[in-house]
Structure 1
Amino acid sequence: MKTKFIAGVATATLLTAAMPAINNLPFVKNANTQKAEAATDVEEAFLNKAAKQAQKAAKTYGVYPSVMIAQAIVESGWGQSKLATEANNLFGMKANDGWDGATYIANTREENSSGKSYYINAAFRKYTSYEGSFDDNGKKLRLGVTWQPDRYKGAWLENASTYAAATKALTGTYATDHRYNISLNNHITTYDLTKYDPQISTQAKSYTVAKSGATYAWPTDHAISAKSGSVSKGQTVTVDKTITYYNGSKRMHIAGKGWVNSTLFENNSEQPAIAVSQAPKSASVKVSKNLMHNAYVYDSKGQRIRNIKMLKADNVIPTYGQETIKGKKYYRVGENQYIAAGNIDGTSRILKHNSYVYNEYGNRDNNLKYKKNQSVATYGSAVTINGQKYYKVGIREYIKHANFAKN
């Protein structure tokens, strides 16, 4: 493909045609540089203007602000390139066919396949402020290019455990320069850009859902992501990752479901995660299972372990094979830790009457009905709701105990 240049703009050599490529990178310091340095007046002014816009765009698209700011520094020369000063264009975004905004014409140098240079006038996107430029860059990092939508997925917050992992993922995909991540990393560490990044916690906690709603595939604004599932009011779920942004808002990942905003949960419903140990040392292959019923944890002798809290229903938990203890089947969930298999697999029971299905409050809020003599999987022992016994037959679904034939 042709190599493109813009006179007077300092940026990295980019792969995407929407972004022009400039070779004059700022001085690259040793990759192990960790000490933050005081910024010059020009640098300070740029950060004051750019950081908040980067944080807003990063929250919208689920990427690292520090990486976006470092990209802007490298590609616009701290906002001093002509494209940046005249058009607020920090990332060299071209005005392609899908762009209906203002444009800025710049003289650019390109190279043909033989390496011979020639100049053309090209139209670039012109923004009223840095906000539009950062938003377009965030959109590109999340949505990729038409022929490869997940091209930059390695830089997404949910996939990159650190900013360094994100910059590495952009090297060879966003930029051809094999030292691109080194340049970005040095700017991030030298100018302490991680202070603009969200806080990411992988501490698992349980929450109660305040209102029914959808879950989403990405930790982005909901308008950006496809839906991945749903949760119901009153349901207890396990959150295994929480992203806290600059403005205090949170996006949280529900295990086995997807991402939601923290506003979906009841206030003060946070509880410590279910306390089971790490994978057993002699573990077989881990298989995630839906826990359909509250479950106590037992040891290898079938004795309940009192100092481990009951595992809550409607969560996804790791299991490591089955064992039979005193004639009863269990799933192994940790080192010398087991739960009754019936809480996961269910027990088949025959209905002796046609039966309606009720919710966890004992209300019939659906049109579900099972037929007499039908075999139905029930989970765990019978539970009491409003003074009556029920068997759980699904998530938030119960059938009266009396409707089943005695085993």
Structure 2
Amino acid sequence: MIVQNKYLRTCLALSSMAASGLIFGGKYAYADEQNVLTESVPVDSASLAIPTQQSAAAETEATQETVLQAVTEGAAQAGETAANSSDTTNTPALQVHAADIKKMLLDPVYADAKEISGTAAPNSYIVFLEGDVSLMETPVDAAGAFRLAPTGIEAGSVLRAIVYSDQSKTVILEETEWTVLPAATGSAEAPLPPATAPATTDPAVTDPAVTEEPPAADLAAGSGGAGQLSASATPNGEEAVTAPLTLMSVASTSLTTAQTVAQEAKGTWYYYVQSGDTLKSIAAHYATDADSLIRWNYLTNANLIYVGQLLSVNGMNVYSSIDKENRTFANSAEFVEYLGSYATEIGKDYNLYSSVMVAQASLETAYGTSKLATVGNNLFGIKGSYQGNSIVMRTWEEESDGSIIWIDAFFRLYPSYYESMVDYALKLRNGVSWDANYYKGTWIENTTSYKDATLYLTGRYATDSSYNTKLNAIISAYGLTKFDQAAALKTVPADYNALVSGYGYSIDSLPWGTTGYKYIASSTDYYGKEVHVSKKTADGKYACISVGGKEVGWVDNNALKTFATVSVSYSLPIMDGAYSIDSLPYGQPGSKKIADAASYTGSVATVVRETADGAYAEIKINGTYMGWISKKAFNAAFQSYDAVVRKGGYSIDSLPWGTAGYRTLGWSNDLIGKSVKVIGKSANGAYFCISYNNGAAIGWVDYKAFEYFNSAAVNYNAVVSKSNFSIDSLPWGEAGYAYVAASSSYLGKEVHVSRITADGNYAFISLNGKELGWIDSKGLQAFATRTASYSMPIMNGIYSIDSLPWGVAGFAKVADASAYFGKMATVYRESADGAYAEIGVDGKFLGWIDKRAFSNAKQVDYYVGVSGLGYSIDSLPWGTAGYKQIGNTNSYLGSLVKVIAETADGSYKLVQKSGQTLGWIDYRALTTLSTKAANYSTTIRSSGYSIDSLPWGTAGFTLLGLTSSYLNKTVQVIQETADGCYALVASNGQTLGWVDKRCL
């Protein structure tokens, strides 16, 4: 049905007669209900050819059957049957079941309407009356449509519409009442599109299938808004969801025929419940039953649904697991900024204007407030299904003649806005089924600015002739071109922490020098602060930093020092007071002393983070954040275990008994027979720090409280080397000992020995912190190691990586070293003789390896300058089997880099820049420098000097500029040569190069 623009008449299409419901006399009627509601149809003797003296009781059975047949078989056939079965001059007033009266639909009638239109039974005839006065009448065409000029209607008046089988007015098919609305102009009830509502795609362009959801379907406004519930009983006791309706006889949001559009979607359909819906009507509409809807949607009250609810109509409702977008926005500016971070990335990936992407999403969804956006995460009105899921909503579309039609539509349901934006980008890049280049005019490579793209979309993506004007206005109002500039930056994601370690660097809205960048702050303001790096420029020169989850801006990477940490959660007592507690790990830039560990000796510290090398721990004491402390302040090698308190009479103290300041907190008597966790031991092993019931530490107790026999505390590792010994709950032979396991189950395993009997015959062992029991000491082989902390590349693949050093009883092969050839291995421990190293690669623990696997390389630590052009940077030394080129020295010319390893012959060197490993470089591309760090500001006073990639005269130095370009400008000195002749300078966070210090 066509809806005229001026009034935007609502078009309500019914599905089959057996499926749809209609409000009648304030009740709902359904075709499959029997004798629920019977109404006498009033007859006007002045205008109808039906004698009024005939009563309803005199109605013949044959006539009743004829009328019912007319209703169910169609108006035309009904009129013919009625004429053949009764005398038209004696037809009585008829009784008709309300369940069968459902054919007529009337578009909203406004007081200033120039036309009335709607649908009714094909070839029927309609008379409109006010009270008993006939106002107008009209035939209905073969398609079931009618329209006529209004006569004598006023706002608030009630029209009675009587539908006859034909123009003879002998058989009444139905009678309904309709309220005349106030003039449409400015009417709050008129479902007019908002001023910002987009014109949608040309209906002929079905592949893009982009439309806007109807304003009437967006129930956020008005008294019938989403989440508000108003239930009225239907004849069968089912509750219908209702919202205030001005049209009394028709729910303006009745379901339309789904079968005609369901082919657009696949998978699970989520219907958006609207005013007037019931479970029964929804079930009929989607060819299912109410019981299935109840089961699929976990409904506890079968008769109660609410406006805005999402119901799956063809399978289990898993919407909560699909929907990952839980962000809400305080205002439109917050919405565009949120989308901007996604659009920047996506625009770069697909070479599209990020500004246009955000503007379209803002326009199509009214800045994220439309229901299609909030429930379907669909920002662009794309129809169909996404990963098998669809949102079903009522929508309006603009015809070529400017008229509006209303339909049901299946829209793609996305997990989040990000997927919606990627899908949109794919649409613009891949076009439509018949033309892959349909949207090529939006591609950056085919345009000169975003305005070319918005103009191209007008009349193509949307039929609105002012579509580009609206998009351009949004882009201008919110400065969205900044996302285009950011997209052109070539950035890469990052995820690590760092410390601000440089003074005087600028922090900017975009990397320094990028078009549109703005100064935000100085790195001096954040010196010593821990920041998070979320992305970097592709060349690694600039990093985007945030503090406390709030983005600060972009800063030169030279102002940062990598600060890798890992989250942990455990408790240990502080046992060595010789260390300090600091704001950052000791030695880090900006680290400040907070307290001495001596003030907390014996106190239990909760560790929340560790440095990546495990050397420092961030702690809390009694729930109060303290700072960072060296882990040497703990008995770091100690692993907690469970133990049972055996004896009473021992005190539980705040510190080991006898320590200055200790105080008694309780007694072991209360814990006899109870299992506690031993979380620390005093230096002499005589006292255990314990916690109970997985709670906080309760204090220190003498180790004798745990034994019936005499033993001594020890602390060393060993390997289970014999298979014929038992592991027991107590030393073998002690009263009450019980067998736990056989030593063969742990053959070759490295265990920790924490106690031995007084005679040394039995040892108490644990594995990975889990207490095992007592074993005969003859079943163990001492396994002496020493801690280490360094990295080396694996350069010889003929060796194996084993669970223990090769040859130690019970060792087993884990992997071949060749599988990690060229990889940097972190060494955690070495065997006492230094022959084997315990290693990890890429943060993953592997095992033990013969140190000769490092023999083709050596560990070094010095700085050089990149002085050669055209040399490759490789994953392995150039020419080594499997090497790959990963960069070029051109990108780092003049840079100061750190050499961490080199081949045995010194031909190739493994280098790092700002803590990030770059790769292997030919030594000929590098120049050894003798430099020292500096950090001060000065002014360029002389114009006659060069600015060079390396100190003037150093092999490979190249001219970068002249000091005349920076005359009288303040610069930051960040490095100096050892002889003090040359300085590396920067301006506004950008490294300029090396200058002769005589110009300063």
For this structure pair, what is the TM-score category when the shorter chain's length is used for normalisation?
0.3 to 0.5
| TM-score, structure 2 normalization | 0.18
Determine which structure has the larger strand proportion and give its number: 2
| TM-score, structure 1 normalization | 0.42
Higher RCO (CA-CA < 8 Å; seq separation 6+): 1
